[in-house]
Each structure stands twice: as C-alpha cells, then as structure tokens.
Structure 1
Amino acid sequence: MPKFGRSIKIFLADGSPAGLRHVEIANWSGQALACPRSRFSELGSWDECRRPGIYFLFENSNGDDNVAYIGESEDVFKRLADHDRKKEFWNEVIIFTSKDESLTKGHIKYLEARLVEISKHADRYELENSNIPTKSSLPRAEAAAMEEFIDNIRIVLGSLSHRILESISSSVTLESASQNDLIMNYEFSFQTNGLIANGRVTDDGFILLSNSQLSRAASTSLSNKNLIIKTQMLDDGMLEDKGGYYLLLKDKLFSSSSSAADLVAGNSRSGPQSWKTTDGELLKTIENRLVNKT
C-alpha cells in the first residue's frame, strides 16, 4: 500500500503542549484526549471522555523502561477515576472515543484485545495488563473498520511520542524502497576482534539485528550508560553467553549507530565509521552522499 500524507489537528486546551490536548485526524470519526495525571480532574468537564472507548495509561520516565496499561469502558472517565485511586504507576492517559458515538461495547472489546495483542508483539512497552482480553466477534465489515480505527490510533499515539503499537522491525516498509536511495534500505555489518554484527538505520535510531555477536568484555572507554544497557540486556535474557562472546537473541533498538557499535566492540566506537554495507561502503559515506543530494 503506498504511503500518503495525513493531517493531524492538536488542540491545546490551555495553550500548554504538556497539558490537556484534543487530537483529531482529518476525515476520521475518532478522536483522542491526552492528559497528564496532574490534570486528570479537568477531564471531567469533557463529554468526549464519558463515552464508550479505549484508553492507554502511560508511565513517562527519563529511562528506557516504558510501562503502559490498555483498557476499555462504556464510560471511560468513570473507569479512569477508579484507576486514579487504585493504580499508582501512571502519569499520563490517552483516551480514544468516537465523535459520532458509533462505538459499541463489541467494538471497544475488539479494539482492546487487538491493541494488547499488537503492543505485546511490538515489545516496546511492558504492559501492566494481568489478563489477555477476549476479542469480541464482529461482522467482517465492522472488523475491517476497527482495524482502520487501530491504524489511526497508532498514528495519533506516535504523534504524541508513544510508539507502543509500532514494531521494532528490521524490514524496510516503504513501497518506494527499490526506487529511492534511502538510508533505511541498507543493511550494515560491523566486524571487530572476530565478532560479526548486523544492523539497520530506522526512524527510531539504529537496530542491532538478532544473531549479532557482542563482546563479553567492557573497557574503561565504554560509557556508564552503555554498561547499564548491557546489564539490562543480560537481565532480560536478550543475550546468550557463548563463552567467547554474547549472542543477541532478538532485535535491539539503540539511540544511535555509535551506541550499537560500542556494545558490539566493548569499547567506545564511532558508529558511522564502523558500520559498512556488503559492498564495503561506510555508513558515514552514505550519510554524506544523501545529504549532498538534497
């Protein structure tokens, strides 16, 4: 399916980008309300949140650990008031309802189950949901309409800095990949001290691909931040000890190619000067070429 532009309108209720926000996509019957927990009481005056809908509770922190909860209710504000009393972890809520009040109980149960399923597959956030919701059975046409609704939820969440529904994927999804010289089209490799690693550049940063080999050692030049990331990867079972090296068991997203190269080598490295294509072209060379073409 070809990519096309979308228009999103975000209304800042009090002029603050961190306050209560109402979000719409052109020609979409859905709508969203995003609100920090500190302003939760203000939601009570919005009729939009007293309808059937689904919601995301987020914990926003400065670290890499992302926590979320996905729920549904026929009166979202009433359910959230209960969460405000009983759930401690969250500090932001994003609500999705319909402008024309067309969402039924069957629709929101379907949405909740699919959103939990997609979020678990994306594996970007740790879900606080203790149970896996049951997906309601909908007629084919209505199920298709809900899948379109989910795609718009994904777009809105991404525009609000929550990519909970977007998989950390190593594949190029752009239809024009074969026609345009895009940095996301390339797969890169890095070889050092007998280790071999592979990765890709994405809109999020740099993905270190599964089956990459990482140094077991860590020199004094490796930053404390990357030492913490390595320790967390071991704790999460992402790395398998092969004796002479660690084997990466699933794709891992890094903020930059340099951070990924550091973890592979066990010391400080320049990512653009380390990662190469199968033709031996450096990432840095490709970056410079693409910049000079603009």
Structure 2
Amino acid sequence: MGFGRKVTIYLADGVPSGIRHVEIANWSGQAIACPRSRLNELHQWPEAQRPGVYFLLEKQTAETGDKAYIGESENVVNRLGQQDRKQDFWNEVIVFTSKDENLTKAHIKFLESRLAAISIEADRYKIENGNTPTESTLPRADKDSMEEFIQNLRIALGTLGHRVLEPVKAPTATVIDESPKLSQFEFSFSIRGLNARGQQTDDGFVLFEGSDISRKTSKSMPGKTAAIREKWIADGTIVPDGDRFRLTKDSVLSSSSYAAVLVAGTSRSGPQSWIDEHGRSLKSIEELLLDEA
C-alpha cells in the first residue's frame, strides 16, 4: 500500500495560473511551473538557472491529443529562451532542478532519456521529441538515485495537472485488500457479438486496447460520443476490423457510459452495462464499496 506525501506549492503571485514552485518533503529536487507568457520572469529565479530537465506542455483538455517536449540543459532558463523561438505548440513549461549541486550533465541526460521513454510508453501526450534521447552511462548507485528522483518528479508533475508519465491503465490486484479501490476491478461488456474490457480509474473510464467498437450507430447516440468516435476514426485510435472497429490502444473516457455507448453505438448506462468476472455490475460494486467505507 502506498503512503502519503507532503507536497508544498508556492504561488508566487498568489494565483494558481502564475508561476508556481513545488517541493516535496525529503526530496532534494524542485519544480517550477511557468506560463509561456511569463517566461521572461524565470530569469529572476535562481532555481531555474541550474542543470535540469524541462517539459514544454500544451495544457491538458478533455479527450484531445495534447503535446509535450522533454529537454535538458545545464542552465535551463537560457535553453528555454531558444525553445521559445523553435517550438510553437506549448503554453506552459515545468522545470525540474535540484536544490543542491549534485545534478551533473550525465545525470540530466539520463533523466531526459528516461522521461522521454516513460512518456512515450504512457501514451497520454504526443511527445514532440524527434527521437528518444540517448541514455547516458551512470554508476549503478547514481542510476538508482535518478530513478528515485523520477518518482518524486512524477508526483510533482501530476500535482501540477500533467499526468504525462502516468500509464492510462491502473494496476489491478489479484487479491483485493481490506480497503479495495474501484480501480482494482476489471470489467467487460458484450452486446450483439461485440466484446470490450475496461476499468474505472481516477482519470475516468479506461477502454482497453483490443475492445470492439460498433460500426453502426443509432440516433440515440449522444453527440459528444459521436464526436469522440469520429476523432478516433480520424487519428487511428480505432481501425476497421471486419464488421466492426477495433481499439488500437488503451483510451480514457470521462465516464463508463461514454465507453459503453461507443462500444454499442447506441445510448447505454455504463454503470449497469459493465460487469466484473463475478457478474457484478460497476454500479453494484460502487455501492458495495460505499457501504463498506
């Protein structure tokens, strides 16, 4: 079971949309988030004038393909001035440096490579790096230290609203503990020979890769799900497979009902449609967990 972490966010201007400085208890690292419109102000922050890694980000919006670029520099704020002219898509940067002097060029090259690889595997954002950066050679102890740095970086990045490093699918448990979470259950939905699997997570409902999507749709299909369906057809998230479509990657939707509607091609109740391996509906498990709380 995980344990709690104390995260401190300092709002430099007293507003959540301005420059924010993030620290985690017992972590030597730090994060600075800055809107592109305030980039010139980062020169006033010594924390940004150190070796580190940075994420250029397109702020997240529901069910759209967001973008990110991951870079490194021995003086991050100077490099960002160059990126401002080279990259057009981003509207926010998040910088990660160390409070001490222990991050070397080899360390930040290692971090850049690992973060790019993790982001590509997570497949939440389109990563704008042309290639995965080469991973620098580090002693075993230093590699472990950087992996620990990444774990805290992941928390800080997510706290700032960007889950670039988080896999879409949550880990499921083979044995449910005494305080089970809804994300520990997997569900299936079958209708007219179409079969799909999914999972309720903190982000929404994840429809698993390989799930069937109906080729036919009815007038009762809500407009938003119809728009998502058309987008998925256009970007290759679903592809033709005989008399149906097939989902090519794990994909997050706002609700279980949206997922059920996309699979069936008609209006459906997600909480009633999705069933676990014991024949219990998503709705009944939600109620069970609430009763046991």
Normalized against structure 1, the TM-score is what? 0.94
Q: Note if contact 1:57-1:92 (Cα within 8 Å) is conserved in structure 2.
A: yes
1:22 paired to 2:14: no
Structure 1 residue 235: Cα displacement: 2.6
Structure 1 residue 240: Cα displacement: 3.2
Q: Note if contact 2:169-2:199 (Cα within 8 Å) is conserved in structure 1.
A: no
User: How do residues 119-138 of structure 1 correspond to structure 2 at under 5 angstroms?
Assistant: 119-138=119-138
In structure 2, what is the equivalent of residue 143 of structure 1?
A: 143
Separation in 2 of the partners of 1:16 and 1:165? 26
1:246 paired to 2:245: yes
Separation in 2 of the partners of 1:253 and 1:259? 10
Structure 1 residue 150: Cα displacement: 0.7
The size of the alignment, in residue pairs, is 292
Structure 1 residue 69: Cα displacement: 0.4
CA 1:185–1:146: 2 relative to 1, 3 Å = same
Structure 1 residue 212: Cα displacement: 1.6
Separation in 1 of the partners of 2:180 and 2:130? 44
Structure 1 residue 177: Cα displacement: 3.6
Separation in 2 of the partners of 1:59 and 1:113? 20
In structure 2, what is the equivalent of residue 89 of structure 1?
A: 89
Between 1:112-121 and 1:161-170, the stretch displaced more is: 161-170
* Consecutive unaligned residues in structure 1, runs of 5 or more: none
SS at match of 2:270: coil
One-letter amino acid of the counterpart of residue 291, structure 1: L
Q: Note if contact 2:60-2:162 (Cα within 8 Å) is conserved in structure 1.
A: no
SS at match of 1:154: helix
Q: Note if contact 2:5-2:25 (Cα within 8 Å) is conserved in structure 1.
A: yes
Structure 1 residue 185: Cα displacement: 2.1
In structure 2, what is the equivalent of residue 80 of structure 1?
A: 80
Structure 1 residue 241: Cα displacement: 1.7
Separation in 1 of the partners of 2:126 and 2:58? 10
One-letter amino acid of the counterpart of residue 12, structure 1: L
Q: Note if contact 1:170-1:209 (Cα within 8 Å) is conserved in structure 2.
A: no
Between 1:57-66 and 1:17-26, the stretch displaced more is: 57-66
In structure 1, what is the equivalent of residue 291 of structure 2?
A: 292
Structure 1 residue 176: Cα displacement: 7.6
Separation in 2 of the partners of 1:242 and 1:15? 53
Q: Note if contact 1:184-1:201 (Cα within 8 Å) is conserved in structure 2.
A: yes
* Consecutive unaligned residues in structure 2, runs of 5 or more: none
User: How do residues 189-204 of structure 1 correspond to structure 2 at under 5 angstroms?
Assistant: 189-204=188-203
One-letter amino acid of the counterpart of residue 138, structure 1: L
In structure 2, what is the equivalent of residue 208 of structure 1?
A: 207
Measured against aligned partners, the alpha-carbon deviations of 1:150-191 in whole angstroms (never above 9, x if no partner) come to: 111100011111010011125326x98444333222211112
In structure 2, what is the equivalent of residue 12 of structure 1?
A: 11
1:45 paired to 2:59: no
Measured against aligned partners, the alpha-carbon deviations of 1:75-134 in whole angstroms (never above 9, x if no partner) come to: 100000111223211100000000012110000000000000100001100011113211
Between 1:132-141 and 1:195-204, the stretch displaced more is: 195-204
One-letter amino acid of the counterpart of residue 149, structure 1: F
Separation in 2 of the partners of 1:187 and 1:65? 25
SS at match of 2:89: coil
SS at match of 2:261: helix
Structure 1 residue 253: Cα displacement: 1.4
SS at match of 2:206: strand
In structure 2, what is the equivalent of residue 157 of structure 1?
A: 157
Q: Note if contact 2:51-2:72 (Cα within 8 Å) is conserved in structure 1.
A: yes
Q: Note if contact 2:261-2:267 (Cα within 8 Å) is conserved in structure 1.
A: yes
One-letter amino acid of the counterpart of residue 261, structure 1: A
Q: Note if contact 1:67-1:128 (Cα within 8 Å) is conserved in structure 2.
A: yes
Separation in 1 of the partners of 2:107 and 2:137? 9
Separation in 1 of the partners of 2:60 and 2:151? 26
CA 1:176–1:71: 2 relative to 1, 3 Å = farther
Query: Please, what is the CA RMSD of the aligned residues?
Result: 1.6
Between 1:110-119 and 1:214-223, the stretch displaced more is: 214-223
Measured against aligned partners, the alpha-carbon deviations of 1:167-220 in whole angstroms (never above 9, x if no partner) come to: 1125326x9844433322221111222212111111111111122211101212
Structure 1 residue 268: Cα displacement: 1.7
Separation in 1 of the partners of 2:248 and 2:84? 38
Separation in 2 of the partners of 1:262 and 1:29? 47
Separation in 2 of the partners of 1:35 and 1:28? 21
One-letter amino acid of the counterpart of residue 246, structure 2: L
Between 1:266-275 and 1:141-150, the stretch displaced more is: 266-275
Q: Note if contact 2:172-2:186 (Cα within 8 Å) is conserved in structure 1.
A: no
